[in-house]
Amino acid sequence: MHKLKSNVSFHQILLLILAGESIFILPFVLARIFRPTFLDVFELTNLQLGSCFSIY
């Protein structure tokens, strides 16, 4: 019983960490992959995009 409880806690912690990482890293990964499209759609310059990332 104790091993099962420990295993469930480990999975919950792991999922929480992955969720937090995905929220934090998502804007950076999307902008790196789709930078030209991202800049065109939102009508931003590289300076504006960099400023947004530094604030985030």
Higher-confidence residue of 12 and 56: namely 12
For residue 25, name the pLDDT band (cuts at 50, 70, 90): confident
What pLDDT score was predicted for residue 5? 67
d(C-alpha 39, C-alpha 56), whole Å: 17
For residue 2, name the pLDDT band (cuts at 50, 70, 90): low
Concatenated DSSP letters for 12-55? HHHHHHHHHHHHHHHHHHHHHHSHHHHHHHHT--HHHHHHHHHH
For residue 36, name the pLDDT band (cuts at 50, 70, 90): very high
- Is the pLDDT score of 54 beyond 70? yes
* Domain coordinates in residue numbering, the chain: 25-56
